[in-house]
Amino acid sequence: MEKLNLGKRNVVPNGARQILIMTKYTFLDYFRSRRFFVLLIIALAIGALLTGIVGYFRPASFITSVLAFYSSWWGTSVTFIVILSAVFFGGDAISGEFQNKTGYFLVGNPIRRSSIYIGKYLAAFIAAVIILAVFTVITLGNGFYYFGSSSIPYQFVESFILAILYTASALGLTFFFSSLFKSSTMSILTTIILLLFVFSLVSVLIESLANIQPTFILTYGAQVITNVLSNPYPPAVTTSSAGPGSHFILTVYNVGLSEGIAIMLVYFAVASVAGLLIFERKEFI
Amino acid sequence: MNVPSIQAISLTKKYGSFTALSNLNIKIEGAKCVGFLGPNGAGKTTTLKLFTDMIRPTSGQAFINGIDVHKEKKKALASVGTLIETPQIYPSLTEREALLMVAEIKGVPPDSLEKSVKEVVDKVKMQAWLDKKIGKMSKGMQQRINVAAALLGDPEVVLLDEPTSGLDPRGMSEVRDIIKDLKKENRLIFMSSHILSEVSEMCDEVAMIDHGKLLAYGPIEDVVSRFSDKHAGVVEVSLIKPIKDSALKRIRTINGVRSLEKLDTRRFNLKLSGGIKTQQAVLAKLVKLNIGIIGFKPSSSALEETYLSVFKETV
Ligand SMILES: Nc1ncnc2c1ncn2[C@@H]1O[C@H](COP(=O)(O)OP(=O)(O)OP(=O)(O)O)[C@@H](O)[C@H]1O
Ligand SMILES: [Mg+2]
């Protein structure tokens, strides 16, 4: 009945420590599974494509002013990069644990489910920020080439920070769906369709047809990333008639800076809390 | 808490209107191996999942070392090794990485991480694969790693769901040896299995379950003698050296021995006329004969007969 190894009994690490352990190994998995590199290559390809096109055609919208350059270059592509990262790293983060039964290897251990969730989220966030950073470097490289290195407008720094907030928020949403569904395909498809199509479609429709500001749509809030790059900041509402002689008035809303930040923060908070609660209650059956 | 224990109190699990586990009450305490038997769909995996908080009880509670698993999972599982239903391991990690992850989560100190991983890998004979990706391994090799993961961190309680499933004969026998070793080290092992010879070889007690209801729990001999009269007290005796015919003759005359069936030169079955008391008396006499006894177990066929009669009764 006596115990031999009383002295070296393990002490289960605290929650924060276990979160970091999860982050570390999830990140390792991104590397090993080439998931990270695939996305890196996509980001590099988009960067290379833009570099080639701008270098060859020198479109006026890009090279008339510094701000115009960053607005056209970064503003058009960065939200796409963020959405790709969110889907790549978050789309099946939790659903994959159920579908592939890898969760069975994890949850039988002395670790809270919330630590698994948060740890995986942090890994996805760090990976997405690295991808974003690489794309930023390509953007800045081109900016320096055309306008010199002393020319980073403060608006670009703002835009970069907002892009990071968008990353956090979009990942929160993809994690939520990956927690909601048990099938990876379902959760990945849902997030892609939502972030790339449904959100934009719904906001265009309710803006132009119902004249309602779509403050409840994440991608609408993310437009601040582009908006801060125009000087002056775009007006809250712009209207235009659909064509000459037409009575149809097209209304377009432009999200304000604090509105945009609020929308992204609310999405992040609500999606994260809901995703976590669902995962806590989900059964490995 | 010095004595490892697991306990279920009115533990019930329903899937919709279907009751997978019905009002399970059981307390298992101390260093021993308990086999968990029952036909397919009996509720074994359901029980083990409730003990690891993979599913929530509909009612009732599951305790490990006195701690409610659902309320305080992290604390309850602090010194528990689990292997439930052939888990998959992240296919792109290597064996070393996957096991390091579990070791870190369980709180193996940083300076002995590599050492403890090596230890369990040696036990399951997977040293040559340490730096290979798990996705490239066969099912049985992955199961060995699952067994290794369950052993990490010196668990006091080990919960295993068909641990030898998918293993080759050598793998099965190695895992059986591992479990026997665990038993020696003051561990409580609770293990579901369909392989009765395995259970009667390794386990001290059995719990039998069907249709979500516990039908019997107790020392193997007790359960065997309770459920099958005709096989009451069939024991398998194994010896270190071949036995002579003269000795066999003498054994047949021992009081309480009804008949003797020679299995091979070093093993024979004894059919006894009574239960546990008779067993004890017969064993005492056998020892005096000095024939080199190394094993005296209820025979696996006895457990099998019991199994068949128990689970026929409940259909
Ligand atoms: N997710 C689920 N939904 C509905 N019923 C389920 C679910 N999971 C298990 N069951 C039912 O619960 C019962 C017990 O299943 P369990 O997996 O515990 O059996 P088992 O004893 O482990 O069987 P086996 O020997 O085949 O592994 C079965 O009848 C099964 O059909
Ligand atoms: Mg089972």
Helix (H) or strand (E) holding B183: helix B169-184
Q: Is B314's pLDDT higher than 80? A: no
β-strand partners of B68: B63
Preceding peptide of A232 cis, ω within 30°:
yes
Per-chain residues with Cβ under 5 A from ion ligand 2: B 45
Pick from B15, B56, B106: CB nearest A109: B106
β-strand partners of B270: B235, B260
Topology of the domain covering B5-221: Rossmann fold (3.40.50)
Q: Delimit the domains of chain B by residue range.
A: 5-221, 229-314
> Is residue B296 within 8 Å of B237, Cβ to Cβ?
yes
Whether the model clears a pTM of 0.90, i.e. scores above it, the answer is no
Pocket test for ligand 1, best of B12, B13, B14, B15 (most atoms within 8 A of CB): B15
pLDDT at A4: 45
| A140 vs B230, higher pLDDT | A140
A54-107 per-position pLDDT tens digit:
889 988 888 888 888 899 899 889 999 999 999 999 999 999 999 999 999 999
Q: What is each CA distance from A207 to A231, A249, A250, A269, in whole angstroms?
A: 23, 11, 8, 25
CA distance A112 to chain B (A): 6
- Those of residues 181-220 in B touching chain A at CB distance below 8 A are 185-186
Hey, whose CA ends up nearest to atom 24 of ligand 1? B40
- Which band of pLDDT confidence, cut at 50, 70 and 90, is reported for residue B186? confident
Question: In chain A, which residue ranges form alpha helices assigned H by DSSP?
Answer: 15-32, 35-57, 60-63, 66-85, 95-99, 103-106, 113-147, 154-180, 184-193, 199-208, 218-221, 224-227, 257-281
Q: Is A6's pLDDT higher than 50? A: no
Q: What is the mean pLDDT of chain B?
A: 90
**Residue from A30, A109, A120 to probe the interface with B (highest B Cβ count within 10 Å):** A109
**Residue from A104, A184, A281 to probe the interface with B (highest B Cβ count within 10 Å):** A104
Pick from B3, B92, B154: CB nearest A5: B154
With a 6 Å cutoff on the Cβ, whether B44 touches ligand 1 is yes
| B159 vs A152, higher pLDDT | B159
Neighbours of A211 (CB within 10 A): 12
CATH architecture, domain defined by B229-314: 2-Layer Sandwich (3.30)
pLDDT at B272: 83
- Cα distance between residue A127 and residue A124, in whole Å: 5
Hey, whose CA ends up nearest to atom 22 of ligand 1? B45
| A26 vs B223, higher pLDDT | A26
Q: Delimit the domains of chain A by residue range.
A: 4-196+258-281
Q: Is B298's pLDDT higher than 90? A: no
- The Cβ-side half-sphere exposure at B49, using a 13 Å CA radius, reads 22
CA distance A14 to chain B (A): 9
Question: Which amino acid would we find at residue B133?
Answer: K
Provide mean pLDDT across the span B189-214. 92
Question: How big is the A-B interface in CB pairs under 8 Å?
Answer: 122
Q: What is the mean pLDDT of chain A?
A: 91
B266 CA distance to ligand 1 middle (Å): 41
- Which band of pLDDT confidence, cut at 50, 70 and 90, is reported for residue B310? confident
User: Is B229-314 in the same CATH topology as B5-221?
Assistant: no
> Is residue B162 within 8 Å of B171, Cβ to Cβ?
no
Q: A28 to chain B: which residues are within 8 Å by CB? A: 93, 97
> Is residue B157 within 8 Å of B65, Cβ to Cβ?
yes
Instruction: Extract the tokens encoding A180.
Output: 């909601």
With a 6 Å cutoff on the Cβ, whether B42 touches ligand 1 is yes
pLDDT at B144: 93
B62 part of contact set with chain A, CB < 8 Å? no
- Cα distance between residue B297 and residue B221, in whole Å: 8
Share of chain A above pLDDT 90, in %: 72
CB-based contacts of B24, cutoff 8 Å, min separation 6: B8, B10, B11, B12, B47, B60, B209, B212, B213, B214
Burial per residue of B51-60, b for 16 or more beta-carbon CB atoms within 10 angstroms, e otherwise: bbbbbebeeb
Hey, whose CA ends up nearest to atom 30 of ligand 1? B41
A111: nearest CA partner in chain B? B74
Provide mean pLDDT across the span B140-146. 93
B155-184 per-position pLDDT tens digit:
999 999 999 988 899 989 988 988 988 888
B68-84 per-position pLDDT tens digit:
999 999 999 999 999 99
> Is residue A217 within 8 Å of A203, Cβ to Cβ?
yes
Pick from A5, A33, A105: CB nearest B149: A105
Q: B186 to chain A: which residues are within 8 Å by CB? A: 1-4
Instruction: Extract the tokens encoding B106.
Output: 């369980």
CA distance A37 to chain B (A): 14
A202-248 per-position pLDDT tens digit:
999 998 888 899 999 999 999 999 999 988 899 988 887 766 666 67
Ligand nearest to the CA of B40: 1
Q: Is A108's pLDDT higher than 90? A: yes
- Asked if B56 lies within 8 A of A281 by C-beta distance, the reply is yes
| B2 vs B120, higher pLDDT | B120
Provide mean pLDDT across the span B301-315. 75
CB-based contacts of A42, cutoff 8 Å, min separation 6: A84
CA distance A93 to chain B (A): 12
- Cα distance between residue B203 and residue B36, in whole Å: 10
Positive or negative, the CA dihedral B254, B255, B259, B264 is negative
